[in-house]
Protein backbone atom coordinates (compact mmCIF):
# COMPACT_ATOMS: atom_id res chain seq x y z
CA UNK A 1 0.00 0.00 0.00
CA UNK A 2 1.44 3.37 -1.02
CA UNK A 3 1.14 6.21 1.47
CA UNK A 4 0.41 9.44 -0.37
CA UNK A 5 0.84 13.01 0.79
CA UNK A 6 -1.77 15.66 -0.09
CA UNK A 7 -0.02 16.81 -3.25
CA UNK A 8 0.54 13.24 -4.35
CA UNK A 9 -3.17 12.37 -4.14
CA UNK A 10 -3.91 15.28 -6.48
CA UNK A 11 -1.20 14.12 -8.89
CA UNK A 12 -2.06 10.43 -8.74
CA UNK A 13 -5.75 10.38 -7.71
CA UNK A 14 -6.26 6.88 -9.15
CA UNK A 15 -4.20 5.56 -6.22
CA UNK A 16 -6.61 6.98 -3.64
CA UNK A 17 -9.42 5.02 -2.04
CA UNK A 18 -12.29 7.10 -3.46
CA UNK A 19 -14.95 6.25 -0.87
CA UNK A 20 -12.55 6.71 2.01
CA UNK A 21 -11.29 10.04 0.70
CA UNK A 22 -14.81 11.48 0.52
CA UNK A 23 -15.61 10.10 3.97
CA UNK A 24 -12.41 11.58 5.44
CA UNK A 25 -13.36 14.96 4.00
CA UNK A 26 -16.84 14.62 5.46
CA UNK A 27 -18.82 14.61 2.19
CA UNK A 28 -21.33 12.33 0.53
CA UNK A 29 -21.94 12.07 -3.22
CA UNK A 30 -25.46 13.42 -2.71
CA UNK A 31 -24.06 16.69 -1.36
CA UNK A 32 -22.19 17.29 -4.62
CA UNK A 33 -25.48 17.15 -6.50
CA UNK A 34 -27.23 19.70 -4.32
CA UNK A 35 -24.73 22.02 -2.58
CA UNK A 36 -23.98 25.01 -4.89
CA UNK A 37 -20.44 25.35 -3.48
CA UNK A 38 -19.62 21.71 -4.21
CA UNK A 39 -21.28 21.96 -7.63
CA UNK A 40 -18.05 23.46 -9.00
CA UNK A 41 -16.34 20.11 -8.53
CA UNK A 42 -19.04 18.38 -10.61
CA UNK A 43 -18.57 20.95 -13.41
CA UNK A 44 -14.84 20.36 -13.23
CA UNK A 45 -15.39 16.59 -13.36
CA UNK A 46 -17.55 16.95 -16.47
CA UNK A 47 -14.90 19.12 -18.08
CA UNK A 48 -12.26 16.52 -17.21
CA UNK A 49 -14.22 13.84 -19.08
CA UNK A 50 -15.04 16.11 -22.04
CA UNK A 51 -11.39 17.06 -22.50
CA UNK A 52 -10.33 13.40 -22.48
CA UNK A 53 -13.09 12.48 -24.96
CA UNK A 54 -11.54 15.06 -27.24
CA UNK A 55 -8.20 13.23 -27.02
CA UNK A 56 -6.58 15.94 -24.90
CA UNK A 57 -5.08 16.00 -21.42
CA UNK A 58 -6.97 17.84 -18.69
CA UNK A 59 -5.00 20.82 -17.44
CA UNK A 60 -5.11 20.85 -13.67
CA UNK A 61 -4.86 23.82 -11.32
CA UNK A 62 -1.66 22.44 -9.83
CA UNK A 63 1.44 24.50 -10.36
CA UNK A 64 4.57 22.37 -10.63
CA UNK A 65 2.62 19.51 -9.13
CA UNK A 66 1.61 21.55 -6.08
CA UNK A 67 -1.51 23.44 -5.13
CA UNK A 68 -1.40 26.99 -3.86
CA UNK A 69 -4.46 26.49 -1.63
CA UNK A 70 -5.86 23.52 0.25
CA UNK A 71 -9.26 23.80 -1.46
CA UNK A 72 -7.59 23.63 -4.92
CA UNK A 73 -6.00 20.36 -3.91
CA UNK A 74 -9.32 18.94 -2.73
CA UNK A 75 -11.13 20.06 -5.86
CA UNK A 76 -8.51 18.33 -7.99
CA UNK A 77 -9.15 15.02 -6.26
CA UNK A 78 -12.92 15.51 -6.11
CA UNK A 79 -13.10 16.24 -9.84
CA UNK A 80 -11.30 12.97 -10.60
CA UNK A 81 -13.53 10.94 -8.29
CA UNK A 82 -16.69 12.61 -9.58
CA UNK A 83 -15.56 12.08 -13.18
CA UNK A 84 -15.53 8.35 -12.42
CA UNK A 85 -19.04 8.59 -10.96
CA UNK A 86 -20.25 10.40 -14.11
CA UNK A 87 -18.58 7.80 -16.34
CA UNK A 88 -20.12 4.93 -14.40
CA UNK A 89 -23.56 6.54 -14.62
CA UNK A 90 -23.03 7.07 -18.35
CA UNK A 91 -21.94 3.45 -18.79
CA UNK A 92 -19.95 4.09 -21.97
CA UNK A 93 -16.77 2.01 -22.19
CA UNK A 94 -15.42 4.22 -24.99
CA UNK A 95 -15.52 7.29 -22.75
CA UNK A 96 -13.94 5.34 -19.88
CA UNK A 97 -11.06 4.19 -22.10
CA UNK A 98 -10.43 7.70 -23.39
CA UNK A 99 -10.56 9.13 -19.89
CA UNK A 100 -8.16 6.47 -18.57
CA UNK A 101 -5.66 7.12 -21.34
CA UNK A 102 -5.78 10.89 -20.83
CA UNK A 103 -5.37 10.48 -17.06
CA UNK A 104 -2.46 8.08 -17.62
CA UNK A 105 -0.76 10.69 -19.79
CA UNK A 106 -1.39 13.36 -17.19
CA UNK A 107 0.12 11.17 -14.44
CA UNK A 108 3.00 10.32 -16.75
CA UNK A 109 4.10 13.95 -16.73
CA UNK A 110 4.13 14.06 -12.93
CA UNK A 111 5.92 10.71 -12.68
CA UNK A 112 8.61 11.86 -15.10
CA UNK A 113 9.11 15.08 -13.18
CA UNK A 114 9.20 13.28 -9.81
CA UNK A 115 11.66 10.68 -11.10
CA UNK A 116 14.00 13.39 -12.28
CA UNK A 117 13.68 15.45 -9.08
CA UNK A 118 17.17 16.06 -7.78
CA UNK A 119 16.24 18.42 -4.95
CA UNK A 120 13.68 16.19 -3.23
CA UNK A 121 14.75 12.58 -2.89
CA UNK A 122 11.36 11.56 -1.43
CA UNK A 123 9.52 12.50 -4.65
CA UNK A 124 11.87 10.32 -6.69
CA UNK A 125 11.51 7.44 -4.22
CA UNK A 126 7.71 7.66 -4.36
CA UNK A 127 7.67 7.61 -8.19
CA UNK A 128 9.94 4.54 -8.14
CA UNK A 129 7.65 2.86 -5.59
CA UNK A 130 4.51 3.61 -7.60
CA UNK A 131 6.01 2.03 -10.73
CA UNK A 132 7.25 -0.98 -8.77
CA UNK A 133 3.98 -1.52 -6.88
CA UNK A 134 1.75 -1.21 -9.94
CA UNK A 135 3.87 -2.83 -12.62
CA UNK A 136 6.57 -4.80 -10.77
CA UNK A 137 9.46 -2.94 -12.37
CA UNK A 138 12.49 -2.63 -10.12
CA UNK A 139 14.11 0.69 -10.95
CA UNK A 140 17.41 1.94 -9.60
CA UNK A 141 19.07 5.27 -10.18
CA UNK A 142 22.56 5.18 -11.64
CA UNK A 143 24.23 8.49 -12.47
CA UNK A 144 21.82 10.30 -14.83
CA UNK A 145 19.94 7.14 -15.76
CA UNK A 146 17.37 4.75 -14.42
CA UNK A 147 18.32 1.13 -14.76
CA UNK A 148 15.94 -1.82 -14.88
CA UNK A 149 16.61 -5.57 -15.18
CA UNK A 150 16.61 -6.89 -18.77
CA UNK A 151 13.72 -9.32 -18.03
CA UNK A 152 11.59 -6.39 -16.77
CA UNK A 153 12.47 -4.36 -19.82
CA UNK A 154 11.56 -7.14 -22.26
CA UNK A 155 8.20 -7.78 -20.57
CA UNK A 156 7.17 -4.15 -20.75
CA UNK A 157 8.62 -3.19 -24.13
CA UNK A 158 7.04 -6.12 -25.98
CA UNK A 159 4.47 -3.95 -27.77
CA UNK A 160 6.92 -1.28 -28.86
CA UNK A 161 7.88 -1.69 -32.48
CA UNK A 162 10.07 1.36 -32.99
CA UNK A 163 13.72 0.54 -33.51
CA UNK A 164 14.95 2.49 -30.52
CA UNK A 165 13.05 0.16 -28.16
CA UNK A 166 14.71 -3.02 -29.47
CA UNK A 167 17.08 -4.37 -26.84
CA UNK A 168 19.93 -4.40 -29.34
CA UNK A 169 19.66 -0.60 -29.64
CA UNK A 170 19.71 0.01 -25.87
CA UNK A 171 22.58 0.66 -23.54
CA UNK A 172 22.82 -2.54 -21.45
CA UNK A 173 25.33 -3.24 -18.69
CA UNK A 174 25.53 -6.11 -16.18
CA UNK A 175 22.00 -7.28 -16.95
CA UNK A 176 20.43 -3.81 -16.66
CA UNK A 177 18.93 -1.57 -19.34
CA UNK A 178 19.66 2.16 -19.10
CA UNK A 179 16.73 4.56 -19.57
CA UNK A 180 16.06 8.25 -19.13
CA UNK A 181 13.22 9.31 -16.83
CA UNK A 182 11.09 10.01 -19.93
CA UNK A 183 11.70 6.53 -21.36
CA UNK A 184 11.10 4.84 -18.00
CA UNK A 185 7.66 6.41 -17.74
CA UNK A 186 6.88 5.93 -21.44
CA UNK A 187 7.47 2.21 -20.94
CA UNK A 188 4.42 1.95 -18.68
CA UNK A 189 2.01 4.35 -20.47
CA UNK A 190 -0.25 1.66 -21.88
CA UNK A 191 -0.26 -0.34 -18.67
CA UNK A 192 -1.02 2.75 -16.61
CA UNK A 193 -3.99 3.46 -18.90
CA UNK A 194 -5.14 -0.16 -18.52
CA UNK A 195 -4.72 0.05 -14.74
CA UNK A 196 -6.88 3.18 -14.52
CA UNK A 197 -9.55 1.87 -16.88
CA UNK A 198 -9.82 -1.49 -15.10
CA UNK A 199 -10.15 0.35 -11.78
CA UNK A 200 -13.03 2.37 -13.22
CA UNK A 201 -14.66 -0.60 -14.96
CA UNK A 202 -14.50 -2.64 -11.75
CA UNK A 203 -15.89 0.17 -9.57
CA UNK A 204 -19.49 -0.18 -8.39
CA UNK A 205 -22.02 1.86 -10.39
CA UNK A 206 -24.00 4.09 -8.04
CA UNK A 207 -27.70 4.83 -8.54
CA UNK A 208 -28.46 8.15 -10.21
CA UNK A 209 -27.69 11.06 -7.90
CA UNK A 210 -30.01 14.02 -7.85
CA UNK A 211 -28.27 16.91 -9.63
CA UNK A 212 -26.09 14.63 -11.77
CA UNK A 213 -28.72 14.02 -14.47
CA UNK A 214 -27.68 16.89 -16.73
CA UNK A 215 -23.94 16.12 -17.01
CA UNK A 216 -24.74 12.42 -17.46
CA UNK A 217 -27.18 13.23 -20.29
CA UNK A 218 -24.56 15.42 -21.89
CA UNK A 219 -22.00 12.61 -21.83
CA UNK A 220 -24.48 10.05 -23.17
CA UNK A 221 -25.27 12.27 -26.14
CA UNK A 222 -21.54 12.92 -26.70
CA UNK A 223 -20.79 9.19 -26.64
CA UNK A 224 -23.16 8.63 -29.59
CA UNK A 225 -20.50 10.32 -31.69
CA UNK A 226 -18.22 7.36 -31.06
CA UNK A 227 -20.62 4.60 -32.06
CA UNK A 228 -19.42 2.86 -35.20
CA UNK A 229 -21.67 1.02 -37.62
CA UNK A 230 -19.36 -1.63 -38.96
CA UNK A 231 -20.88 -4.39 -41.00
CA UNK A 232 -18.91 -7.58 -40.73
CA UNK A 233 -18.84 -9.37 -44.06
CA UNK A 234 -18.43 -12.75 -42.41
CA UNK A 235 -15.59 -13.41 -44.86
CA UNK A 236 -12.90 -11.75 -42.83
CA UNK A 237 -10.38 -14.04 -41.13
CA UNK A 238 -10.56 -14.29 -37.33
CA UNK A 239 -7.53 -12.03 -36.75
CA UNK A 240 -9.23 -9.20 -38.66
CA UNK A 241 -12.62 -9.79 -37.00
CA UNK A 242 -10.93 -9.74 -33.60
CA UNK A 243 -9.14 -6.45 -34.38
CA UNK A 244 -12.44 -4.85 -35.45
CA UNK A 245 -14.15 -6.10 -32.29
CA UNK A 246 -11.40 -4.64 -30.10
CA UNK A 247 -11.85 -1.26 -31.78
CA UNK A 248 -15.64 -1.41 -31.56
CA UNK A 249 -15.37 -1.98 -27.82
CA UNK A 250 -13.22 1.14 -27.57
CA UNK A 251 -10.24 -0.88 -26.42
CA UNK A 252 -6.70 -0.22 -27.41
CA UNK A 253 -5.45 -2.18 -30.42
CA UNK A 254 -1.64 -2.35 -30.46
CA UNK A 255 0.21 -0.61 -33.25
CA UNK A 256 0.91 -3.99 -34.92
CA UNK A 257 -2.84 -4.79 -34.89
CA UNK A 258 -3.72 -1.44 -36.46
CA UNK A 259 -1.07 -2.03 -39.12
CA UNK A 260 -2.49 -5.49 -39.89
CA UNK A 261 -6.08 -4.24 -40.12
CA UNK A 262 -5.25 -1.22 -42.25
CA UNK A 263 -3.01 -3.09 -44.70
CA UNK A 264 -5.59 -5.91 -44.98
CA UNK A 265 -8.47 -3.56 -45.79
CA UNK A 266 -6.33 -1.48 -48.18
CA UNK A 267 -5.39 -4.68 -50.01
CA UNK A 268 -9.13 -5.41 -50.28
CA UNK A 269 -9.41 -2.06 -52.09
CA UNK A 270 -11.31 -0.30 -49.32
CA UNK A 271 -10.78 3.45 -49.60
CA UNK A 272 -8.92 5.29 -46.84
CA UNK A 273 -12.04 7.36 -46.00
CA UNK A 274 -13.97 4.15 -45.32
CA UNK A 275 -11.26 2.61 -43.16
CA UNK A 276 -10.52 5.67 -40.98
CA UNK A 277 -13.85 5.61 -39.02
CA UNK A 278 -13.03 2.10 -37.79
CA UNK A 279 -10.36 3.65 -35.60
CA UNK A 280 -12.47 6.44 -34.17
CA UNK A 281 -13.23 4.49 -30.99
CA UNK A 282 -9.55 4.01 -30.22
CA UNK A 283 -8.71 5.87 -26.99
CA UNK A 284 -5.99 7.90 -28.71
CA UNK A 285 -7.87 8.55 -31.98
CA UNK A 286 -6.95 11.64 -33.96
CA UNK A 287 -8.64 11.93 -37.36
CA UNK A 288 -5.90 13.91 -39.05
CA UNK A 289 -3.13 11.56 -37.89
CA UNK A 290 -5.18 8.45 -38.83
CA UNK A 291 -5.82 9.71 -42.36
CA UNK A 292 -2.16 10.62 -42.75
CA UNK A 293 -1.05 7.16 -41.60
CA UNK A 294 -3.57 5.36 -43.81
CA UNK A 295 -2.49 7.36 -46.85
CA UNK A 296 1.10 6.55 -46.02
CA UNK A 297 0.32 2.80 -45.79
CA UNK A 298 -1.70 3.00 -49.03
CA UNK A 299 1.31 4.52 -50.77
CA UNK A 300 -0.56 7.67 -51.74
CA UNK A 301 1.83 9.80 -49.68
CA UNK A 302 5.45 9.51 -48.58
CA UNK A 303 7.61 7.07 -50.53
CA UNK A 304 4.69 5.86 -52.66
CA UNK A 305 5.16 2.26 -51.50
CA UNK A 306 2.00 0.39 -50.51
CA UNK A 307 2.63 -1.65 -47.37
CA UNK A 308 1.70 -5.35 -47.48
CA UNK A 309 -0.49 -7.18 -44.98
CA UNK A 310 1.82 -9.19 -42.65
CA UNK A 311 2.05 -12.98 -42.95
CA UNK A 312 0.19 -15.34 -40.61
CA UNK A 313 3.55 -16.39 -39.19
CA UNK A 314 4.45 -12.83 -38.28
CA UNK A 315 0.97 -12.21 -36.81
CA UNK A 316 1.33 -15.31 -34.64
CA UNK A 317 4.50 -13.91 -33.09
CA UNK A 318 2.61 -10.66 -32.38
CA UNK A 319 -0.27 -12.48 -30.63
CA UNK A 320 -2.69 -11.25 -33.28
CA UNK A 321 -3.56 -14.67 -34.73
CA UNK A 322 -6.78 -16.41 -33.68
CA UNK A 323 -6.61 -19.30 -36.11
CA UNK A 324 -9.60 -21.54 -36.78
CA UNK A 325 -9.68 -24.73 -38.95
CA UNK A 326 -10.54 -22.65 -42.06
CA UNK A 327 -7.13 -20.93 -41.66
CA UNK A 328 -5.40 -24.24 -42.34
CA UNK A 329 -2.71 -24.05 -44.98
CA UNK A 330 -2.81 -20.30 -45.62
CA UNK A 331 0.16 -18.00 -45.25
CA UNK A 332 -1.49 -14.61 -45.25
CA UNK A 333 -4.89 -13.36 -43.97
CA UNK A 334 -5.62 -12.19 -47.53
CA UNK A 335 -5.80 -15.84 -48.61
CA UNK A 336 -8.55 -16.62 -46.09
CA UNK A 337 -11.59 -18.12 -47.76
CA UNK A 338 -9.75 -18.64 -51.04
CA UNK A 339 -7.07 -21.22 -50.63
CA UNK A 340 -8.06 -24.69 -49.53
CA UNK A 341 -6.03 -27.80 -48.82
S1 LIG B 1 -3.98 -18.11 -39.42
FE2 LIG B 1 -3.67 -16.22 -40.54
S3 LIG B 1 -5.68 -15.66 -41.25
FE4 LIG B 1 -6.00 -17.17 -39.67
S5 LIG B 1 -6.29 -15.98 -37.81
FE6 LIG B 1 -4.15 -16.49 -37.93
S7 LIG B 1 -3.23 -14.74 -38.90
FE8 LIG B 1 -5.39 -14.62 -39.31
Q: Report whether residue 315 contacts ligand 1, using a CB cutoff of 6 Å.
A: yes
Whether 133 is in a domain gets the answer no
Q: Is the pLDDT of residue 230 over 50?
A: no
Q: Report whether residue 89 contacts ligand 1, using a CB cutoff of 6 Å.
A: no
Q: Report whether residue 12 contacts ligand 1, using a CB cutoff of 6 Å.
A: no
User: Which residue would you say has higher pLDDT here, 175 or 74?
Assistant: 175
Sheet holding 140-142: strands in order across?
140-142, 145-149, 176-179, 172-173
List the alpha helices (DSSP H) in the chain.
6-11, 18-25, 29-34, 36-53, 70-90, 93-115, 121-135, 150-157, 181-186, 189-202, 213-223, 238-248, 255-267, 272-275, 287-298, 312-317
Residue of minimum CA distance from atom 2 in ligand 1: 312
Whether 41 is in a domain gets the answer yes
**Do the beta carbons of residue 83 and residue 133 sit within 8 Å?**
no
Q: What is the pLDDT of residues 82-96, one digit of tens each?
A: 999 999 999 888 899
User: Which residue would you say has higher pLDDT here, 70 or 326?
Assistant: 326
The answer to whether residues 75 and 211 belong to one domain is: yes
Quote the CA–CA distance of 124 and 129 in Å, as a whole number.
Answer: 9
Gap from CA of 321 to ligand 1 centroid (Å): 5
Beta strands 172-173 and 176-179: pairing type? antiparallel
Quote the CA–CA distance of 79 and 61 in Å, as a whole number.
Answer: 11
Give CA separation, 258 vs 156, 323, 332, 335, in Å: 19, 18, 16, 19
The answer to whether residues 56 and 75 belong to one domain is: yes
Q: Of the residues 235, 328, 336, 339, which should be mutated to test ligand 1's pocket, given the most ligand atoms within 8 Å of the CB?
A: 336
Counting atoms of ligand 1 from 1, which one is nearest the CA of 321? 6
Q: How confident is the model at residue 22 (pLDDT cuts 50, 70, 90)?
A: confident
Q: Is the pLDDT of residue 65 over 80?
A: no
Burial of 303: CB neighbours in 10 Å, binned 0-12, 13-18, 19+: exposed
Q: What is the pLDDT of residues 110-123, one digit of tens each?
A: 999 999 887 888 88
pLDDT at 194: 86
DSSP-based three-state secondary structure for 168: helix
The answer to whether residues 324 and 273 belong to one domain is: yes
Residue 90, domain extent: 6-112+188-221
pLDDT at 321: 94
pLDDT at 232: 44
The answer to whether residues 88 and 208 belong to one domain is: yes
Gap from CA of 237 to ligand 1 centroid (Å): 6
Average pLDDT over the chain, rounded to an integer? 86
User: Which residue would you say has higher pLDDT here, 103 or 250?
Assistant: 103
Q: What percent of the chain has pLDDT over 70?
A: 92
pLDDT at 112: 92
Q: Which of 41-45, 181-185, 221-225, 274-278 has the lowest mean pLDDT?
A: 221-225
Amino acid sequence: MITLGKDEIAKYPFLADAGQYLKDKGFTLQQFGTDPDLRLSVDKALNRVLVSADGKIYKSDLIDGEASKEYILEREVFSFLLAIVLLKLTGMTTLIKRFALAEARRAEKFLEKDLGNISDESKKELAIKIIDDLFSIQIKKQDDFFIIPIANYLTHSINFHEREWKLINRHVENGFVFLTSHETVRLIRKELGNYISSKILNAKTPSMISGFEEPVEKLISLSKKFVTHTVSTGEYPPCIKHAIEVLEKGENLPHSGRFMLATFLLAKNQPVEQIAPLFKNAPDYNERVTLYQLNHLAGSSGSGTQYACPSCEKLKTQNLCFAIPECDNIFNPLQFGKKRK
